[in-house]
Structure 1
Amino acid sequence: MQPIVHPVVGYVCYAVYARWADGTPPASSPAAVAVVAATLPDLLDQPLYHAGITPVGRTIGHSLLFAVPLVALVWLVARRRGQSRLAVAFAIGYGSHIAADVPWHVLAGDYHELGFLLWPVTPMPAYSGVKTLGTVGGLEVTTLWLEAVIFVGGVALWWADGRPGLDLLGRRFDL
């Protein structure tokens, strides 16, 4: 999945949870935490890859061997500080990133590219890029098409929810 789509997926997943748990759209702070957490795997892995430290762009941050202890640590710290909702938002955001990277490989039959899930125990080959999912009316349908739909739909939901989290930026930058 393209990096720009992950924060949107994180928001949508958390928004679904908030509606299920509270019957309302998400509050600003947990929504922001979910969005940031959903970007974290790429924020960890891409600099390592571009600096030549790791051979591919999906390694430690995308590995369940790192993600599970990280989420557990954040969960413990947040719970001790009475911020359980932020712990849930972090877990949903981070988990949504890893989960959203799986379907395209499965749909395309590129199961070997799922090595990131248990990296470094399992090898992670270079990402082969955009996946072709089929042809509709002579038009090639790729993962980018579906990601564009997810992105637009997620931004529309965030907008309809009152743009939670945006107010935090306004306060931070005195807008």
Structure 2
Amino acid sequence: MQPIVHLAVGYLCYAGYVRWSEGTPPGEQATVVAAVGAALPDLLDKPPWLLGLTVGRTIGHSLLFAVPLVLAGWLLARSSGRPSLGIAFAIGVASHLATDVPWHVIAGDYDELGFLLWPITPMPPYSGTKPLATVGGVEVTTLWLEAVILVAGAALWWVDGRPGLEPSRWRSDG
């Protein structure tokens, strides 16, 4: 999945959770924390890949790193009296890892799921965009579905008042 789409998925997931649990749109600070969580795996793994490492999913995409990181974030947020920020971070990270899985399963590229337990399991180079179907002679790829997800996430974020953009509107999300 493209890095920008992970932000949209993270927002959709977090906004859904907040609406379900509180009945309101997400708050400013928690939205930023969810976005950081959603972006973190790529922020850790893409720079070395851009510099020539053959894979773009290593430590940041590994459950062996993500689970302790999420737990530490949740404990830190809880100890500072802001448990909702820990939940936001956990949802952001989990949404990223969870949405990197389906494309490989749909395409039957199960070996590419090695990133989930890296470095215990090997991680072959990412094979890129996956074909989903052919409609009217046009190949529909994962990028098409990602575009729909991106638009949906951006639309909901806009309707919610674009939380996270203005620190002056930050309320105590805690």
| 1:163 counterpart residue number | 162
Aligned to 1:92: 91
CA distance in 1, matches of 2:168, 2:45: 25
Deviation at 1:51, TM superposition (A): 3.6
User: Does 1:75 find its partner at 2:74?
Assistant: yes
Q: Secondary structure at the match of 2:3?
A: coil
User: What's the CA shift string for 1:2-56, capped at 9, x where partnerless?
Assistant: 111111110110000000010111111111110111000000011222345x541
Cα displacement (A) at 1:170: 8.7
The alignment's C-alpha RMSD in Å is: 1.4
Where do 1:95-110 residues align within 5 Å?
95-110=94-109
Q: Once the 2 structures are TM-superposed, how far is the Cα of residue 136 of structure 1 from its aligned partner?
A: 1.4
Q: State the partner residue of 2:4.
A: 4
- 2:133 counterpart SS class: strand
Match of 1:56 in 2: 55
Q: CA deviation at 1:128?
A: 0.3
List aligned pairs for 1:136-147, cutoff 5 A: 136-147=135-146
Q: Quick one: distance in 2 between partners of 1:149 and 1:158? A: 14
User: Which 4+ stretches in 1 moved above 2 angstroms?
Assistant: 48-52, 168-171
* Cα distance, 1:170–1:75 mapped onto 2, change above 3 Å: closer
Q: Which amino acid aligns with 1:63?
A: S
SS at the partner of 2:152? helix
Residue 93 of structure 2 aligns with an amino acid whose one-letter code is Y
Which amino acid in 2 is paired with 1:156?
A
Amino acid across the alignment from 1:143: T
Aligned length: 170
Number of the residue aligned with 1:113 = 112
Shift of 1:95: 0.6
Query: Aligned partners of 2:158 and 2:51: how far apart in 1?
Result: 36
Correspondence for 2:14: 14
Q: How far apart are 1:168 and its partner, in Å?
A: 2.3
Does the residue aligned with 1:4 lie in a helix, a strand or coil? helix
Unaligned runs of 5+ in 2: none
1:135 aligns with 2:134: yes
Would you say the 8 A contact 2:30–2:84 is kept in 1?
yes
> What's the TM-score once normalised by structure 1's chain length?
0.93
TM-score by length of 2: 0.94
Give the Cα–Cα distance (whole angstroms) in 2 for the partners of residues 133 and 84 of structure 1. 39
Give the AA of the match of 2:16.
V
